[in-house]
């Protein structure tokens, strides 16, 4: 049996990851999964968790923490008037449908597939934020019709498979359709909540009878990880929201791209080694 003193550094790491996830959730409008998923993945690797379920549990646990983090972050942004309720009413149901689809696919594929999805999408968004022209516009307002179905479903499905709150896609899409970045960030925080709830449920159901899960897991959700990450995430999310309103647009995008790029490289490394 593992000595308790050997587990303390891992517990401290999860608490720190929760704090970082909360700040990033409020600052960038994501649910913190951009931090939580890689930390949990490498932690589970160190602890010898079966590779067949390692990434699924990391993603499922991240989605569970997003529920708490996004709620706190959304409230902070809502009080500042930067949550686009019209977007949530129009795109929310479509995004939820995408989440359910992505959760179902994630329960069926192997862990490295989810890792690859995480790495590729994160890298594409990081490159766009780093080198894309801020004046690029696809339109003056978010589209409706079939394009809304494509955009919303894609955001929901990929977010569920990556274990993120959707801000890595929602923010760039909204800004390219003429939404100010601070309003896009605040709205993405709320989007994280509507992604996290059905995503968490989907991963619990999808992993209900899975073998070799870490102790204290319910489906593909680690209750131990959730208990250590969620509290500090919730406490630190308002701090991130306050910082978001003090930084300029270019700084927000650079910080966002930095985290996405670093995370993507770490994920690619884990696939190749």
| Domains of the chain, residue spans | 11-272
pLDDT band for position 28 (cuts 50, 70, 90): low
Q: How far apart are CA 4 and CA 116, in angstroms?
A: 34
Q: Would you state the structure tokens that stand for residue 251, as one six-digit string?
A: 């700084």
pLDDT band for position 119 (cuts 50, 70, 90): confident
What would the pLDDT profile of 234-245 be if each residue is shown by its tens digit? Answer: 788 777 777 777
pLDDT band for position 133 (cuts 50, 70, 90): low
What would the pLDDT profile of 195-212 be if each residue is shown by its tens digit? Answer: 989 999 999 998 888 888
Average pLDDT over residues 137-157: 89
pLDDT tops 80 at residue 174: yes
* 149-152, Cβ contacts within 8 angstroms, sequence gap of 24 or more: 149/94, 151/91, 151/94, 152/91, 152/93, 152/94, 152/95, 152/97, 152/98
Task: Enumerate residues 6+ apart whose C-beta is below 8 A from 129.
Answer: 172, 253, 254, 256, 257, 260
pLDDT tops 70 at residue 34: yes
């Amino acid at each position: 049996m593992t000595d308790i003193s050997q587990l303390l550094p891992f517990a401290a790491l999860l608490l720190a990851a929760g704090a970082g996830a909360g700040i990033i959730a409020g600052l960038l409008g994501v649910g913190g999964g951009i931090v939580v998923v890689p930390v949990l993945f490498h932690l589970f690797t160190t602890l010898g968790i079966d590779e067949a379920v390692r990434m699924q549990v990391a993603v499922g646990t991240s989605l569970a923490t997003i529920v708490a983090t996004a709620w706190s972050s959304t409230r902070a942004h809502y009080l500042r008037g930067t949550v686009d309720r019209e977007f949530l009413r129009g795109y929310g149901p479509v995004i939820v449908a995408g989440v359910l689809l992505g959760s179902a696919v994630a329960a069926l594929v192997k862990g490295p597939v989810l890792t690859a999805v995480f790495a590729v999408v994160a890298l594409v968004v990081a490159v766009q934020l780093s080198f894309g022209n801020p004046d690029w516009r696809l339109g003056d307002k978010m589209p409706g019709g079939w394009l809304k179905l494509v955009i919303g479903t894609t955001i929901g499905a990929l977010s569920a498979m990556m274990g993120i709150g959707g801000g890595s896609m929602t923010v760039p899409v909204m800004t390219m359709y003429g939404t100010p970045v601070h309003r896009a960030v605040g709205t993405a925080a709320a989007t994280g909540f509507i992604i996290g709830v059905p995503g968490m449920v989907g991963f619990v159901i999808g992993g209900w009878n899975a073998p070799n899960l870490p102790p204290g897991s319910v489906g593909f959700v680690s209750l131990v990880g959730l208990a250590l990450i969620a509290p500090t995430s919730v406490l630190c999310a308002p701090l991130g929201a306050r910082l978001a309103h003090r930084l300029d647009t270019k700084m927000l995008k650079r910080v966002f791209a930095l985290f996405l790029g670093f995370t993507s490289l770490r994920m690619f490394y884990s696939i190749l080694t």
